[in-house]
Structures are given as structure tokens and as C-alpha cells.
Structure 1
Amino acid sequence: MILFGCYALVLVGGMSLSMMALSYHNFSDYMAHTLLEGMDGLVEDLITFHEREGGWENLSRNPAAFHRMVREALHEKGPSAPLDPSGNPVPLRPPFRPESGLPHGQDSASRPPLSGEGPPPRPMAADMPGPFPRPLWDALTVFDAGQGPVTGSARSSEGQALRELTSGDRTIGWLGLRKNESLRHPLDFDFMARQTRALYGVAAVVLFLSVFMGLLLSRWLLTPILRLTEATRALSLRRFEARIPETRRDELGQLAADFNRMAATLSRYEAMRRQWLSDISHELRTPLAILRGEIEALIDGIRPPSQENLLSLDQEARHLSKLVEDLHQIAQTESGALTCDLRPLRPCAILARTAEAFRPRLLAAGFELDLRLQDPGHETLGDADRLTQLFSNLLENTLRYATPPGPIVAWEEEGEESFSLLLEDGGPGVPPASLPLLFDRLYRVDTARSRAMGGSGLGLSICRQIMETHRGEIRAEAGARMGLRIVMTFRKKTA
């Protein structure tokens, strides 16, 4: 806020100084041209001199002649000042003070009474000493037709107010007056002083309004930014419940909404992380507890080391190994370390081949396999081994959780830029609320039933990871025969 106040002060101060400089320049220019317009007699004398002499050479060699010409031309407008030994007039009065309009050393109380009626006449330009000790002709310069100096103090026409000198239709020269010498009367300086005071007043008002509006604007802008800063700091401290009030409809309001969505996503992922750790520890603890119990029973002699008991230990060890392998594959996929050799292939053919490999087990469990797949099917870019794993996980899941007898149907549907493979069983199906969660890690519809059937809760999650690696999509729907339908959508291979 202090920085904004300093910026406003510098800006308003700079504008004020610029306006004051421009006002002085423009007013000085105006006064210079006004004075020149009042010098008709001097202009006529200069034109007559040029016509009589045939040029400006004599005037250039005799500056005193120009001084006399100025004095004589303007004599009728006011009394001339006495001359010093060099021929220059001396001031009759001390210079005027611009702020009071009085000579230096004299105030209003000691001013002599005015004679006559009304205010004293304004001194003429020729004999007016003003605030400068130099006479007016010291500020006048005659230039030739090419604006080269003839006589006078100026060396060029730059900074001069010019009046054209013409003879007939021909320009014979210019009469110039220095612009900064045009303000010679006390009233001129009094006018500039009033303008300066008014400008200072306006600048003060503008500065006050700028600071006041700056306070309001900074509060309007900084309040949501400060809230965002505090909420961001809370997120860095893992307080994912932090939210920002969405009270605006501008860009800052959109930023607050985006932040709230991000915080909600982080909160959801934090909850998933905690649930993941809890589920993993539970999943690992269960087979380890079973192994430990059976091994202790063998050690204590409660159970004999028979082949049946050893096979039970081997089954639990395999289950634990499978769980660890699935976790490793999911970690590889999420970190981008899972490699896929993408080549043109036909997923329909891979599904048919995998289903045929499962046919004996499906028939033995009491299922009917109905393949309605097109031959050869559409082509996409994929990894044959990963897709075989995908279809195997789905069929393995059907063997574990579907209830025989019933058909297992596979078919293909075509879209404009994609095609889908569908796999549907005959039941018992999945509750609608569980359909979006089936592919989450370690999710089970029936926890006790899933563990009893050897499921780790990671098979469908691995299926989703494989489909995402293939830039495809997998989802679960309710089947037509009260069963579960899995829809896998692939992109068509473009030429």
C-alpha cells in the first residue's frame, strides 16, 4: 500500500510539473505572439528600411539603428526611458515582483498614492523593465528571409515567436521575440501564479482521490488474494479442508472456484491414500496371519506336516505373492514405468483366443461361452501381452463372482472413430452404487465373499490401468440379463 501511495505521489507530481511547464510554455508563446502583433509600427519601419537600403546589410552593421527604430516605433505607445552613455535606456523603476505586482523593496502600505482616476496605465513593452533588467529590444531579433539572424541577440530562430515581414508578395524577413522574454508585466506573472496555485490545488485533490480510490481498490483486490494465500498455506500444511468463499464473478472468483476444486481433489486423493494404506496393510496382514497360524500349528504339533497342510501353506504364499505382484504392476503403471510394446493388432482376435483358453474352465464351472465377435475385427495400436492380461483378469473375475449356469457373451460394437468390446455375464450383477467403484484399487462389493474366493481387489484396477495405457476406456454397466457388463472402448487405428 505504501508503494502504491509513492507511485501515486510520483505520478501526480510528474503530471503537475508537466502541466505547469506546458502552461508556462503555451502562455509564453501566446504572449510573445500578442506582443508581436502589437508592433505594427516597428514592422512597417523595418519593411521601409529594407526597401530603402535594398537589404539588411546596413542594419546588421549598425545595431544601434535597430534600437532607435524600436524606440521610435513604440514611442507613441508610452514614454521612452532615459538613455545611458552607450545609448541604451535605463530603467525608471526597480523591477517588479511577480507575486505582488510591486517593485522590489515596496509593499502595499508604502506604495505612493496614484494620481488621476482609475488604476495606472499598463507600461508599454518598449520601456517596461519588468522582472528582467534588459530592455525589450534585447529580446527582439531581425531574421532574413531564410531565418538567418540579421541583428539582435538570437543566433537562430529556435525558441522565437516570429512575425513575417513582407514586401509585396515576397517575404523579406522575420521579426522574432524570445518566448521566455514575453512575460514582462506583473499581471502576466500574477496570472501564472494563480494558474500554478490552481494547478497545485487540483493536483492535491487528484492525489487525495487517487490514494482514496487506491485504498478501496487495493482492499477489493487484495482481500481475495490474501484469502488465497492463507488457503494455499493451509494446503501446504496438509489441511485439505481449506476453502475460499466464492463471492465474486470475475477472474478472482474463477480462481477461487478453481482453488476449491483443487482442494477438493486433493482432499479426495488424501482420503484415498489413507484408505489405500489401510487396505494394503489389511490385505497383507490377512494371508500373513494365516501363514503364521498354520506354521505355528505345524511347529507345535497341532497339525501334522501332511501334503494337504503344506498345500494350504503354498496357496496362501501364492496369494500373497500375487497380491505383491499386482501392487508392483499398479505402482509401475502410475509412475509411467510400465512398458507397452504398441503395435497394430486386433483386440477382437485376442479376446477370442483368450476366451477359448478359458472355455474348459468355464464349461466345467457350468457357464456357456457365446462369442459373437467379428472376424477379423477392427485394428488398433496395442500390446498383445497386456491385452491378454486384461481379458484374462475379466474372465477370471467372472469365474469367481458370477453364478452358473448362465451365458458369458462377448461381442463388438462400432463407432465413428472407436470400437468397443463388450463382455457380459448372467448375474448376480452389482448394485448400481458400486458400478463406478469397481475399478478402484482394493474395492470389493462383498468383502468377506471376495477374500474367500481368493480375490485381491486389484484385478479390475489393473484392467483400468491397462486400458489407460492404450488410451482407451473401460466401464461397468448393468447387463440385460441382470448381470454385469464390461465395456472396453478402443481407438481405431488411422492410416
Structure 2
Amino acid sequence: MRSLSTKLVLAFLLTSLAGAVLAAIFVRQFVNAQFDAFVVTQQRDFFIGRVIDYYAANGSLKEINSWMRDRTAHRPPDDQHTNGIPPRDDPLTISFGLADPAGRVIIPTAGYKAGDTLPPAALAAGTPISSSGGQIIGVALTPAAAAIRDPAQERYLASTDAALAIAAAATAGIALALGVLVARLITRPLHELTAAARQIASGDLGHQVVVRSRDELGDLATQFNHMSADLAHANQLRRQMTADIAHDLRTPLTVISGYLESLRDQVLKPTPERFSVLYDETQILQRLVDDLHTLSLADAGELPIQRRPTEPSQILAHVTETYGHAAEQAGVSLVMRESGPLPEANVDYERISRSLGNLVSNALRYTPAGGQICLSADERDGNLLLSVADTGSGIAAEHLPNIFERFYRADAARQQETGGSGLGLAIVRSIIEAHGGAVRVESTIGKGTTFTVSLPL
């Protein structure tokens, strides 16, 4: 299998050779045609000059046929044949014909004998011959045959052909050199990308390549670097998620295992309080499994959405009532605010309520006693905006781009009681995006955080 470099070099070489050969053929045909036309014109002028000289010396064109044959045959003229005409050195290699002004052939040419009368078209195609006094004395007839070249003319055309061949060879050499150069410029980044792909396949997911240009290959290298960075980030998140799942499973399982072991060994007595602890831990495990199942459905695009016309105030009232007791116990004011009558939204009531509930639950963890959590609804640009704003501790700017990632916690503590499972915000985003909407967050340290859900109406 030929390499891409070889194919590029061959493509350059063959294209250049084809162009050079075609150009050489065209130039050769053009030069030969022009040269032959020049020879014909030159010899016709010489023939006409002989006719004029003969007429000037003899006053007529009688006997010019035999005289011209003697001159063409290069016979040394004697006193009988010179007729006082100065000799010309240029030999005629073309048999031109001659007719008088009336069209009667004097010197025969192809297709016409002496004494024949030319048709008007043939006479009009000839070249008129004028005497020194301006009188038309005859018409020169050029044969249709190509010019007969002498050895010197043939050598000239041969040298032209040689020059064209040298030019074609030089073009091929230049094309070969340029092909090699361009092939290297094109294939070098491709070789680097191939090597980088092998590095990624071997496990070095963050491997980067050098961007050497701003063309399509440069764009390819840039996108490759973005892809490798995303792969490395995704792999890091996968490892972190695995560790987080193991941690979130280990804590309740440890509690359950410890209690069951103590109950089995009769170290502890089975009391309703201890069974309640076991039940709470199993509920934690159940919520974690349910959350993971919801996210897996969202990833596969199979999260069921049961849409029905729903009033925004109904969603806010349900969430406020559900979390009102928890807010009261935490000493936080949970209020609901609407900006007037709003149109119904075609949404999944249960899932949107759960999304807002996750946001309220998250706000309760970070809002101190005496703080406030406000649920509001508004309409803007054909979208329903549902907001959850708190006066809690806020989220640092460096954490904002990642808070919707799974198992991501802005706080450094890993205690489940304060940090949650780390799946709540990821579930919120999945549910909202399944509705064709979006969720965004704004936060200021020490002032609070606002989550805004946008749903198309």
C-alpha cells in the first residue's frame, strides 16, 4: 500500500507532466504552423519578386514558365535565359502558380495546367502582383501543400523541440521537488496525529499535538487537542464518580452491617429505634440507586416525560408545601413569589417539581438560620422562568462550571449529611434538558445563589 506522501508526490508529478506535455504539444503545433506560414509568405514574396523582375526586364510574362523552371532547378543562367534580370540567391522550394489578371494560368500549380482558366473563387484567393507602375500584371497562386523546409529550417524546429523537451523535464523536476515538500508539510501533522491517537489508545488520554498551521489541518489538530482534553477530563470524572459511588455505598452499608452483626451476636437488643436507623440507611441506598437509574435513562435519551398543561403556581405551591416543614426546622424562611398570571406550561409535573425540590433541598444545606429561600416564576421571550434564590454562603466562581457534574461538591467535606450524594444538580440538568430547556446558576460568596430554570412555553 502506497503512503499518502507517495500518492501526493505522484499526483503532483503526473499532473505537472501532463500539463507540460500538453503545453509542449500545443506550442510545437503552434510554432510549426506559424513557421510554415512564415516560410510560405517569405517564398511567395520571393516568387512575386521574380515575377516583377521578369516583367520589368521583358515587358510581359511570356516564356516566364520555362525561365522559372530553370531558376528553380538552379541551372546557371546563360545569356539567353537571364534576359537582363539580376540573379536572386534565395531558392524556391514551393511550386507557386501564376495566372494573368483574366485568370488564365501561366505557370501551372496543383489542379491547374497552363492555359486553364481559374474559377472566380480560386482567382480571388490568389495574391495580386503589381508592377512598379502599379499595374496588376498577374496573380500568384499558393498551393495547398505545406511548406517544404530546407535543412536549416528543419534544424531550427528541431532545436525548438529540444528546448520544449528540456522545459518539460525541468517542470517535472520542479514538480517532484514541490510534491515532496508539500507532501511533507501535509503528512507531518497527520503522522503526529496518528502517533497521538496511538498514545491515547495506550491510555495517555490527555496527549496533545502541536498546531502548526491555521488551515484545515490546523483545525483538525486543534479539535484533536480539545477531544483529548475532554477525554482526560471525562476519565478523571469517571474515576472520581467510581470513588464517590463506592464512598456513598460504603457509609450506609457499614452502618447496616455493624447493626446487623451486633444484633446477630446479641450485643445490641432489637429496638424500634435501631430498626429505624437501619431503615433510614436503606432509604439512602434506595435514593442513590434511583438517582443513578434516572441519570442512566437520561444519558440514553429514554427518560420518560409525561407532559400535561400545568400552571406554574401549582408547581411552586407544591414545592413550597413539601419543603416548608424542613425549612421551618432549619430556621429558614421559604417563600413563593409570582409576577402575575402566567400561561400554562406543557411539562412533566412530577419531574419539574422534583427538579425544583432538589434545588430547594440544596439551598437548605447552605442557608443559615434566619436566611431566606425564594421560589419565583416569570415569563420572558416565550420561556417560563422558574427560580430558586437563597441567601446562603454562595458558591465560589471556580466551582460554578462544574456544579452540574455528577458527584461534584463545591464543599471540601465529604460528609453525606452536608454535601448530599452529589447527584441532585446533575438530575436537575438532565430533567430540564429532556424538556428542551436549560438551567443556569449565579452566585456571590457571602450573598447567596440563584438557580434559574428556563422551559419553552
Question: For the superposition of Structure 1 and Structure 2, which TM-score range results when normalised by the shorter chain?
Answer: 0.7 to 0.9
State the shift of 1:313 in Å: 1.7
Instruction: Output the CA distance in 1 between the equivalents of 2:406 and 2:290.
Output: 14
Partner of 1:267: 232
Per the alignment, do residues 209 and 272 of structure 1 end up closer, same or farther by CA in structure 2, a change over 3 Å counting?
Answer: same
Residue deviations 1:44-67, cap 9 Å, x none? 9xxxxxxxxxxxxxxxxxxxxxxx
- 8 Å contact kept, 2:393–2:446: no
Whether 1:75 and 2:40 are equivalent positions in the alignment is no
Partner of 2:145: 178
Instruction: Output the CA distance in 1 between the equivalents of 2:325 and 2:27.
Output: 97
Whether 1:28 and 2:36 are equivalent positions in the alignment is yes
Q: How does 1:269-348 map to 2 (within 5 A)?
A: 269-348=234-313
Per the alignment, do residues 174 and 278 of structure 1 end up closer, same or farther by CA in structure 2, a change over 3 Å counting?
Answer: farther
Q: How does 1:203-214 map to 2 (within 5 A)?
A: 203-214=168-179
- Higher mean Cα deviation, 460-469 or 479-488? 479-488
Partner of 1:164: 126
State the shift of 1:293 in Å: 2.2
Percent same amino acid among aligned pairs? 28
Per the alignment, do residues 447 and 299 of structure 1 end up closer, same or farther by CA in structure 2, a change over 3 Å counting?
Answer: farther
Residue deviations 1:207-236, cap 9 Å, x none? 222222333333233322322332234334
Instruction: Output the CA distance in 1 between the equivalents of 2:13 and 2:206.
Output: 37
Structure 2 portions without partners, runs of 5+: 1-5, 53-62, 76-87, 97-106, 113-117, 130-134
Instruction: Output the CA distance in 1 between the equivalents of 2:354 and 2:431.
Output: 9
State the shift of 1:71 in Å: 5.8
Per the alignment, do residues 177 and 317 of structure 1 end up closer, same or farther by CA in structure 2, a change over 3 Å counting?
Answer: same
3-state secondary structure, aligned to 1:177: coil
Partner of 1:94: none
Of 250, 253, 266, the residue aligned with 2:218 is: 253
Per the alignment, do residues 241 and 391 of structure 1 end up closer, same or farther by CA in structure 2, a change over 3 Å counting?
Answer: closer
Per the alignment, do residues 20 and 199 of structure 1 end up closer, same or farther by CA in structure 2, a change over 3 Å counting?
Answer: same
Of 9, 17, 42, the residue aligned with 2:25 is: 17
Per the alignment, do residues 31 and 434 of structure 1 end up closer, same or farther by CA in structure 2, a change over 3 Å counting?
Answer: same
Per the alignment, do residues 405 and 5 of structure 1 end up closer, same or farther by CA in structure 2, a change over 3 Å counting?
Answer: same
Letter in 2 for 1:404: A
Per the alignment, do residues 166 and 183 of structure 1 end up closer, same or farther by CA in structure 2, a change over 3 Å counting?
Answer: closer
Residue deviations 1:287-317, cap 9 Å, x none? 2232222222222222223222222222111
Instruction: Output the CA distance in 2 between the equivalents of 1:126 and 1:14.
Output: 31
Partner of 2:347: 382
Letter in 1 for 2:30: L
State the shift of 1:72 in Å: 4.0
Partner of 2:3: none
Tell me the matched-pair count.
406
Instruction: Output the CA distance in 2 between the equivalents of 1:422 and 1:382.
Output: 16
Partner of 2:58: none
Of 467, 470, 483, the residue aligned with 2:448 is: 483
3-state secondary structure, aligned to 1:339: coil
TM-score (norm 2): 0.75
Per the alignment, do residues 208 and 480 of structure 1 end up closer, same or farther by CA in structure 2, a change over 3 Å counting?
Answer: closer
- 8 Å contact kept, 1:425–1:479: no
Whether 1:435 and 2:429 are equivalent positions in the alignment is no
Instruction: Output the CA distance in 2 between the equivalents of 1:462 and 1:127.
Output: 102
3-state secondary structure, aligned to 1:295: helix
Of 183, 187, 193, the residue aligned with 2:152 is: 187
Letter in 2 for 1:79: A
Letter in 1 for 2:168: A
Instruction: Output the CA distance in 1 between the equivalents of 2:350 and 2:234.
Output: 31
TM-score (norm 1): 0.70
State the shift of 1:474 in Å: 1.9
- Higher mean Cα deviation, 345-354 or 278-287? 345-354
State the shift of 1:438 in Å: 2.5
3-state secondary structure, aligned to 2:360: helix
Per the alignment, do residues 187 and 479 of structure 1 end up closer, same or farther by CA in structure 2, a change over 3 Å counting?
Answer: closer
- 8 Å contact kept, 1:141–1:176: no
Per the alignment, do residues 72 and 419 of structure 1 end up closer, same or farther by CA in structure 2, a change over 3 Å counting?
Answer: farther
Instruction: Output the CA distance in 1 between the equivalents of 2:303 and 2:344.
Output: 23
* Alignment RMSD (CA, Å): 3.8
Letter in 2 for 1:17: I
Of 210, 230, 235, the residue aligned with 2:195 is: 230
Instruction: Output the CA distance in 2 between the equivalents of 1:72 and 1:348.
Output: 124
Letter in 1 for 2:410: V
Whether 1:472 and 2:437 are equivalent positions in the alignment is yes
Whether 1:408 and 2:402 are equivalent positions in the alignment is no
Per the alignment, do residues 391 and 259 of structure 1 end up closer, same or farther by CA in structure 2, a change over 3 Å counting?
Answer: same
Partner of 2:427: 462
3-state secondary structure, aligned to 1:410: strand
3-state secondary structure, aligned to 1:370: strand
Partner of 2:91: 123
Per the alignment, do residues 8 and 175 of structure 1 end up closer, same or farther by CA in structure 2, a change over 3 Å counting?
Answer: closer
- 8 Å contact kept, 2:342–2:379: no
Instruction: Output the CA distance in 2 between the equivalents of 1:72 and 1:334.
Output: 107
State the shift of 1:16 in Å: 2.6
